[in-house]
């Protein structure tokens, strides 16, 4: 997927957390940081689908609500989008 076609990570997260406690700026930033750290810990070619699936069965991100939001974030991307591609887009903005 071209970086131009990819959803903007912070916009995706903003939409997902709307109406939750994670919409508060400091919590939003912390959640975005958690997502970035999680993606950095994966193999670069891990897909968004694989990353979401792995997170459903692990406790790598603490807190059920927090983990659910990260999974929802990953589900917004094409299933074949890689961790590397999402990270590159996160860091280019």
Cα 12 to Cα 81: distance, rounded to the nearest angstrom = 15
For the chain, the domains span: 9-92
Q: How far apart are alpha carbons 34 and 22 in whole angstroms?
A: 12
Given CA atoms 82, 83, 86, 88 in this order, what sign does their dihedral have? negative
| pTM summary value | 0.88
pLDDT in tens, 8-44: 888 999 999 999 999 999 999 999 999 999 999 999 9
81 to each of 8, 42, 65, how far by Cα in Å?
13, 13, 24
- Res 5: pLDDT: 72
pLDDT at 1: 52
* Nearest residue to 82 via CA among 50, 54, 36, 58: 50
């Amino acid at each position: 997927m071209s970086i131009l076609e990819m959803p903007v990570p912070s916009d995706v997260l903003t939409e997902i957390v709307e109406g939750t406690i994670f919409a508060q700026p400091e919590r939003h930033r912390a959640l975005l940081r958690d997502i970035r750290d999680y993606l950095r810990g994966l193999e670069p070619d891990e897909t968004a689908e694989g990353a979401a699936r792995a997170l459903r069965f692990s406790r790598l991100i603490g807190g059920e609500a927090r983990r659910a939001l990260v999974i929802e974030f990953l589900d917004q991307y094409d299933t074949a989008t890689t961790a590397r591609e999402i990270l590159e887009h996160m860091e280019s903005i």
